[in-house]
Amino acid sequence: MIRQTRMRRAHLARLEQAWPEGLPFDNVRLLRAKPAKTVLALDSARGPVVASFFGPQSLDQRPEGVAAAHELLTERLPAGAVPALIAHVEQADLVISEQVRGQTAADLIRAGSTSSEEAIRAAAIWLTTLHDLVERPDAAHDFTGRVKVATVDAPPAMGTEIARLARELTGLPVRQVKFHNDYKPDNVVIADGRTCAIDFRNTRFRPASVDAAQFLTRAAIYALSVRDPGPVNRIGLPLYVTQLFDEAYGRAISAEPMTELFILTNILLAEIKRSSRPATRRLLLARRGQHGRGLRKLLSLSEAALTPTPG
């Protein structure tokens, strides 16, 4: 707590120096404090904003790229689909954007009932709009490193299926689209009929399955932290997540082999990350419904779904 207070004060001082036109600042909160990126949320003379300082360790997020992505997506997507870019202070590696206030899809999914369904549909529709924005020529995608890391000590059925999917997909050309690069329920904010995606990285081109798998994996984890799975699909995800998403997205992307490969590796990578955290941190995340019991349920469901039935 003392360390976070010091970091908040230090970065607030940096912000005051780099962006004096935003003064006075109030209600300052430290949202993230990592070497690659430090994020403050605060009220300013320009309204509620998010100020992001980028460090040299940030390889997939550079301030100039993030600022350019804000401008491109603001121009191409429907009004309100992304936070407005307020300022880009190059010499300070600083990007300031609108602070979008509302409930995240993660919050709504953990709340259950109709709010969960609406959040999944809204997120899928937003993603379809992004993926239909612009395309690049088809290209093959390299899974080697991802598969190697994810399948260390993997449950047998999941490991076997991942290896099979990787063999099937390696070298095959696939549609390349603009993608978010961190499209999870935590980064989709819904308020007053507006669906807004936040915290996107430099908008590059990747298979559509990358974004879809990221969202579906996290949505399943959050949903399973508060409710029973019910019927599941071929790889163990609850149908109340995948069917809603597919219908709104416009095609059964959750059942595509590449999406399945990314979902299965996402699950295993999330478990590797969870198990490497200190026990106190794991307990906190479990209480929030972010990992813990939801992830363990999904891991078990996937392994069971992929395990051949005897006889």
Inter-residue contact 121 to 247 (CB < 8 Å):
yes
pLDDT at residue 290, rounded to an integer: 52
Predicted confidence (pLDDT) per residue in 270-281, tens digit: 999 888 766 665
Q: How far apart are alpha carbons 224 and 236 in whole angstroms?
A: 11
Q: Rounded mean pLDDT of the chain?
A: 90
DSSP bridge partners of 29: 41
Question: Cβ of 306: how many Cβ atoms within 10 Å?
Answer: 20
How far apart CA 297 and CA 221 sit, in angstroms, is: 8
Mean pLDDT, consecutive 10-residue stretches, the chain (311 aa), reads 84 96 96 89 96 78 84 90 94 94 94 88 96 87 91 95 96 90 94 89 82 97 94 98 98 98 97 77 56 89 93 61
**Residues 6+ positions from 295 with CB-CB distance below 8 Å:** 221, 267, 270, 271, 274
| Residues 181 and 65: beta-carbon distance below 8 Å | no
Alpha carbon distance 85, 70 (integer Å): 6
Residues 69 and 81: their CA atoms lie apart, in Å, by 12
Among residues 272, 96, 110, which one has the least CA distance to residue 184? Answer: 110
CA pair distance 98, 198, nearest whole angstrom:
10
Q: Which pair of tokens denotes residue 283?
A: 């307990």
What domains are defined for the chain? Answer: 2-98 (3.30.200.20), 103-306 (3.90.1200.10)
Q: What does the block give as tokens for 297? A: 């349920």
| pTM for this predicted structure | 0.92
Residues 77, 192 contacting (CB under 8 angstroms): no
Question: Which positions ≥6 away from 227 have C-beta within 8 Å?
Answer: 112
> What is the model's pLDDT at position 279?
62
In sequence order, the β-bridge partners of residue 52 are 39, 95
Return the pLDDT at 181: 84
Question: What's the half-sphere exposure (Cβ side, CA atoms, 13 Å) at 120?
Answer: 28
Rounded Cα distance, 309 and 198, in Å: 43
Q: Which of 130, 241, 138, 250 has the alpha carbon at shortest distance from 180?
A: 130
81: left (phi over 0), alpha (psi -120 to 50) or beta: alpha
Supply the pLDDT for residue 136.
Answer: 84
